[in-house]
Structure formats: C-alpha cells, structure tokens
Amino acid sequence: MTRILYILIIGFLLTAPVAHVNAGNPDRQGEGGAPQLLMNPWARSAGLHSMTTSNVFGVEAMRINIAGLGRINKTQFQASHGIYLQGTGVRMSAFGFAQRLGKGGALGISIMALDFGDIPVTTTEQPEGTGATFSPRFFNIGLGYSYTFENRISVGVLFRSISESIADLSGSAFSIDAGVQYVTGEHDNFKFGISLRNIGGRMHYSGEGLSFNAAIPLGSGTYDLASNRRPASFELPSMLNLGISYDILFGTKGRLTVLGNFTSNAFSQDQIGGGLEFAFNEMLMLRGGYKLDFGATSQDTPANSLYSGPCAGVTLDVPVRKDEPNGTRFGIDYAYRAANIFGGTHNITIRLNL
C-alpha cells in the first residue's frame, strides 16, 4: 500500500496540468544576473535536467541540493568538462572534492569556470575589429557542509563566491545555498528533497571600463573631463527546488528510479518535470527526462526558457578491484540536454569514489 501511495504521488507531480497555470515571475525575466549559477557542469545530474533534488549525492549535491553532500562512503573526487550550447564556443570546466567527517558530517569544495574563447575587440571607429581580442573570466567557488541524522534526514549549507571580469571591469558577490533531504521506505527507496539556491546580495560591476572622457564647454571652447558611469546593480538568480523520487527494485541487481521535480524561479517562469533512471548492478545506468515551463503555451508569457524539453545521459561506474565491489570505484558520466537555441549542451564527468 505504501509503495502504491508513493507512486501515485510521483505520478501526480509528473502529470499535473500546467498549461493554464500562471506561475513563476515572467515580469522580472531577464533582470537577474550571474547566469553561471544556473549552469550545471556535472553530467550525472545534468542527464536529468538537474531535477535530482531528492536523490543527488556527493560533489554534485553542491550544485543541486547541498543536503546530499555526505551520502558517500568516504571520499569523492570529480572533474567535468562541458560544451555549453554547441555553436557558441563557450565551455564549462569544474572540479569538486567531498569528504566524510565523523559519523554524519561531510565537507566539500567545488570550483567552476567558463571559457569564452577569444572575442574580437570592436569600437565605434572600428566596428569590424581592432585586431585585438579579449576573454571574460567567469569563476565561482563553493564551500559546503552537510550533516545526516540516522541516515534519514540530511541538512546542509553552502557558501559560494562569484566572480566575473574582463581586463578593465569586474564584479563579485557571495551567495548561500541550503537544503534538506528525507529518506524513508523499507529499502530507503522513497526520497524527498528541498533546496534553496543562490540567495545573496546584489551584484554590480566596477573598474576603469566604466570611465569615459566628457567634453565640458568652457567659454568658446571645451576641455575633457574624466567621468565614471554609474552601473546598475542586479540580483542573483535565486530559486527553490522541490523534488521527490521512488526506487523500484528488481531483485538485487536492477533498479528503476522514477522522479519528479518542481522549480520556482525568481526571474523566470517556474518549471516542472520528471525522469527515469534504470541501473543494472549500480554499474551501468541509463537516464532520461523532460522539463516543462508553467504557462509556456500562453501568448501573454515570454518564450520557453533555455532548457525546456528532453535530456538523456549514461553512466558507467565500476570497482577498481573486482574482489572489492564496495571499495574504490571509478565512474564516467555523459549527458546531453536539448536547448531551444543553438545545438544543446554536452557534459562529461569522471569520478573517483574511495
């Protein structure tokens, strides 16, 4: 009876009508900044459109729900590379480390950077380019901690520093993430998660790039006076995630996870979606999902968000030594997310669990 109830709850989340719901905050769409905080470089969760609020664990939890950070055996390393919106030339790189502390605690650090390639410098006098190039530097680093109570309830908090700059202009800010995960069921197969992400102060740019020479009239002539533009500040793209999942077990080797997720965005439409992940012996995993925007079919709302559609991924996770299946393991993940512009996003991640 309990299993049927869990499946019905997930089914309701996946099939709830969304076409006529006026949700999200489309009036503020485009007003938030620091879009790098919405990018997920980790392939395992990206293969489910980052909808793994309820069951994400380890390093990837620092991008989805920090409460899952400590759900690892002991130590985890991850490194990732991604092609963001194929055709733009933007690439994502990330590295993360997670370590269990004591009985229920865990500490983790994650670093992410964007590579925009070389962008030609243009001016009003030389709109075709001056021959010089520049490359923006987008970088963020997060430090998180989580604690698990009796393997049932996990809580966590993460502090992140955000930096964006070019040669003569820069901006920085700090944000906080917080999350909760709850696990129950006969085989710990029902999971529920809540995460609040990117809560922080306003961000603005400063630097020599905002300076300009103004011609000040004086008598019959003029003189130049160095002046500064006053930049407008902007808020970080905060969001609230609610997720639920249920593991259907097939003996001791097969697992099918059904999940649903709801995201409330502060600066865009809310989203709802669901997905499936099939695992064989926790070594080979196939996953796929679909995400929808609330009100996306209405003529009075903006166009769909960047990722509203299908996604898919695959994982290979094997023990380093065959005689120690629960010992050191090496994994590789791949994910593809279809996008409404350009050619979609590809991610690949390598992982070492000790």
pLDDT (0 to 100) of residue 52: 97
Better-predicted residue by pLDDT, 232 or 354: 354
Question: Buried b / exposed e across 135-153, counting CB within 10 Å, b at 16+?
Answer: eeebebebebbbbbeeeee
322: exposed, middle or buried (Cβ count in 10 Å: 0-12, 13-18, 19+): exposed
Most confident of 68-72, 218-222, 313-317, 321-325: 313-317
Residues 265-278 have pLDDT tens digits of 888 888 999 999 99
Closest by Cα among 137, 141, 138, 81 to 110: 141
Tell me 74's DSSP state. Answer: S
Q: Do 141 and 37 contact (CB within 8 A), yes or no?
A: no
Minimum mean pLDDT range among 70-79, 124-133, 311-320: 124-133
Asked whether residue 220 is assigned to any structural domain, the reply reads no
Closest residue by Cα to residue 145 from 90, 106, 99? 106
**pLDDT tens track for 297-353:** 444 444 567 888 899 999 999 998 877 777 899 999 999 999 888 889 999 999 999
**Closest listed residue to residue 10, CA positions, set 54, 66, 49:** 54
Strand-pair partners of 333: 315, 349
pLDDT for the residue numbered 22: 43
pLDDT band (50, 70, 90) for residue 18: very low
Question: Considering the domain boundaries, does residue 212 fall inside one?
Answer: no
Residue 245 or residue 88, greater confidence? 245
**Could you tell me if 116 and 104 are in contact, meaning their C-beta atoms sit under 8 angstroms apart?**
no
User: Degrees (nearest 5) of the Cα angle 36, 40, 42?
Assistant: 140
What are the residues whose beta carbons fall under 8 Å from the beta carbon of 27, sequence distance 6 or more?
none
Q: Identify any residues that bridge with 159 across adjacent strands, giving them in sequence order.
A: 143, 176
Percent of the chain, pLDDT > 70?
89
* pLDDT-based confidence at residue 11 (cuts at 50, 70, 90): low
The mean pLDDT value for 166-194 works out to: 93
Mean pLDDT of the chain: 87
Q: Is residue 214 one of the residues assigned to a domain?
A: no
- 256 beta partners: 248, 278
Domain range enclosing 117: 2-201+237-353
In sequence order, the 6+-apart residues with CB closer than 8 A to the CB of 218 are: none
Q: With respect to residue 222, please indicate whether it lies within any of the assigned structural domains.
A: no
The pLDDT tens digits of the residues spanning 20-43 come to: 344 455 666 667 788 899 999 999
Q: What is the pLDDT of residues 200-214, one digit of tens each?
A: 988 988 888 888 777
- The CATH number assigned to the domain holding 288 equals 2.40.160.60
Residue 230 inside a domain? The answer is: no
Report whether 265 contacts 239 (CB < 8 A).
yes
Stated pTM of the model: 0.86
Domain assignment present for residue 167? The answer is: yes
Highest mean pLDDT among 119-128, 252-261, 334-343: 252-261
Closest CA to 336 of 49, 113, 90, 65: 49
Count of domains in the chain? 1
Residue 126 covered by a domain: yes
Q: Is residue 139 part of a domain?
A: yes
